[in-house]
Structure 1
Amino acid sequence: MIGTLPRIRVGTRNWRHCSSAAATLAVRGARRGASGAEEGSMAEATRRRGPYAKSAERRRAIIEAAHQVFAARGYARGSLQEVADRVGLSQTSLLHYFPSKTDLLFAVLEHRDLITGDGSSPPDPEEGLVAGVLRQTRYNETAPGVIELYAVLCGESTTQEHPGRDFFAARFRRLRSEYTAELRELQAAGRLREGSDPERVAASIIALWDGVQLQWLLERDAVDMVACLADYLDLVVLPAP
């Protein structure tokens, strides 16, 4: 923390009898003292930040390596040793940053959500459901590695023993709830096609989105994700009057 200038305790009478040169020297000396204190504080702060900054950089490198390993091999087959090898660490050193493979998995999932804004996150109310979904889909096309990771881990999480099962189940519940609320607003405004149930439409949007992404990963030239989602949304969401 940068300190404030030290207070110069000079009486009024003494100050008036000082020459201007002496007064200037007094102020300069005080400033030099303050500057030295500030430099010392900044140097100390830099020294303190050093280890933390290096630790944070190493954690990011491990998470990115795990992202690549889990996307390529899945959580079950991806090994901590392979992750450690990619960042030039021993497995023991890696466990210093992430005590278990499960801890590393959750760090990767959080990192994935930070990159994509939670993947298929609900749109801004001012943007609108359709525009928000299509915008996020366009973004996803620019991050195939993130989508690969999501597809692999989401598929694996259907097994009872998978540590990510609760994460994905909670994520789908939240998305269904948020999309349902958005669709009910559209229904109240007369913009949801008659006979459509908001809860079922919400689940269908998520299912279609995930399914189309999977097909796109397998044959990117054959599947237009944005067009597929736009066509479905046009069937259930009516244009604004």
Structure 2
Amino acid sequence: MAQNERPSERSPGRKAASAGRGTYAVGDERRSRILDAAVEHFAQWGFHASSLARIAKDVGITQGGLLHHFRSKEDLLVQVLARADENDKEKFFSHEFVSAVECYACLVRLAEYNSTRFGRTRMFNVLAAEAGDPGHPAHAYFTRRYTDIVEHMSGPLRQAVESGELKPGTDIVAVAQETAAVMDGLQVQWVLDPKGFDMVGRFCAYADRLLRSITVDGRGLPADV
């Protein structure tokens, strides 16, 4: 500090920086609360019947305050889906699988994780059904999602065929598409009856049967999955 600079002359800048950081933190926290509320509303009413005004009310802000963070209901929907995707990719798909068995063991863990977040899973089911309409704002998202799932699974499955883990001639695209359909179908049944339907157990049994049918040595899931 220069000798002729008094501490008081620097304090406004420091206070402004501190206030700025506090403002950003409040904004991030409010944005997160809006996204959480939107998940519940989209899950209960779907996209079209959900209201920005009701979502804002649940968060304790005005609709104008919500629109300060999200430009429109369509933007809010896209951000809700993007956050869910980012979270799942970071938790389960941030590395390359070394085998088909490892890939399916990871999918079982994803099913277990989904069983702990009822609202998000129900929202996904509702929006996926609505998005069959090409005019729905999430139509492109779900179309791209299934393409991405098949592509992501095809890599390790193809390598498993080349390494001799899976039987030659295994239709890896069909296997990936079937797996996605089974996993999402089981989620629908679980949301309808969360206490009576064992989503994780059903998917684990399916993955084990599938692996035993396509692995060269008839190997299924590890015993500790």
TM-score (norm 2): 0.81
- Report the counterpart of residue 223 of structure 2 in structure 1: none
2:196 is paired with a residue whose SS is coil
- Report the counterpart of residue 148 of structure 1 in structure 2: 122
- Report the counterpart of residue 96 of structure 1 in structure 2: 68
Judged with a 3 Å threshold, the aligned counterparts in structure 2 of structure 1 residues 36 and 179 are, in CA distance, closer, same or farther, namely: same
The 2-side partners of 1:155 and 1:39 are apart by: 56
1:160 is paired with a residue whose SS is coil
1:77 is paired with a residue whose SS is coil
Q: How does 1:14-93 map to 2 (within 5 A)?
A: 41-93=13-65
Q: Higher relative contact order at CA 8 Å, sep ≥6: structure 1 or structure 2?
A: 2
Judged with a 3 Å threshold, the aligned counterparts in structure 2 of structure 1 residues 209 and 122 are, in CA distance, closer, same or farther, namely: farther
Q: What is the aligned counterpart of 1:162 among 119, 127, 136?
A: 136
1:75 is paired with a residue whose SS is coil
Answer whether contact 1:122 1:132 (CA < 8 A) is retained. no
The percent identity for this pair of structures is: 31
Q: What is the aligned counterpart of 1:131 among 105, 109, 112?
A: 105
Answer whether contact 1:75 1:153 (CA < 8 A) is retained. yes
Judged with a 3 Å threshold, the aligned counterparts in structure 2 of structure 1 residues 85 and 147 are, in CA distance, closer, same or farther, namely: same
The 2-side partners of 1:85 and 1:135 are apart by: 35
Answer whether contact 1:122 1:129 (CA < 8 A) is retained. no
The 2-side partners of 1:39 and 1:139 are apart by: 47
Gaps of at least 5 residues in structure 1 are 7-29
**Deviation readout 1:43-73 (Å, 9 max, x if unpaired):** 2311222332222222222222111111111
- Report the counterpart of residue 184 of structure 2 in structure 1: 210
- Report the counterpart of residue 19 of structure 1 in structure 2: none
Answer whether contact 1:98 1:104 (CA < 8 A) is retained. yes
Q: What is the aligned counterpart of 1:107 among 59, 63, 79?
A: 79
What residue identity is the alignment partner of 1:182? P
Answer whether contact 1:159 1:165 (CA < 8 A) is retained. yes
How far apart are residue 218 of structure 1 and its match? 1.1
- Report the counterpart of residue 177 of structure 1 in structure 2: 151
Answer whether contact 1:212 1:225 (CA < 8 A) is retained. yes
Q: Which runs of 4+ in 1 moved over 3 A?
A: 33-42, 114-124, 193-196
**Deviation readout 1:176-229 (Å, 9 max, x if unpaired):** 011111111122222324653100000000000000111111122332222322
- How many residues are matched? 212
Answer whether contact 2:96 2:156 (CA < 8 A) is retained. no
1:76 is paired with a residue whose SS is coil
- Report the counterpart of residue 193 of structure 2 in structure 1: 219
TM-score (norm 1): 0.76
Higher Cα radius of gyration: 1
**Deviation readout 1:105-157 (Å, 9 max, x if unpaired):** 11111222244347985874148212111111111111111111111111111
- Report the counterpart of residue 228 of structure 1 in structure 2: 202
Answer whether contact 1:180 1:202 (CA < 8 A) is retained. yes
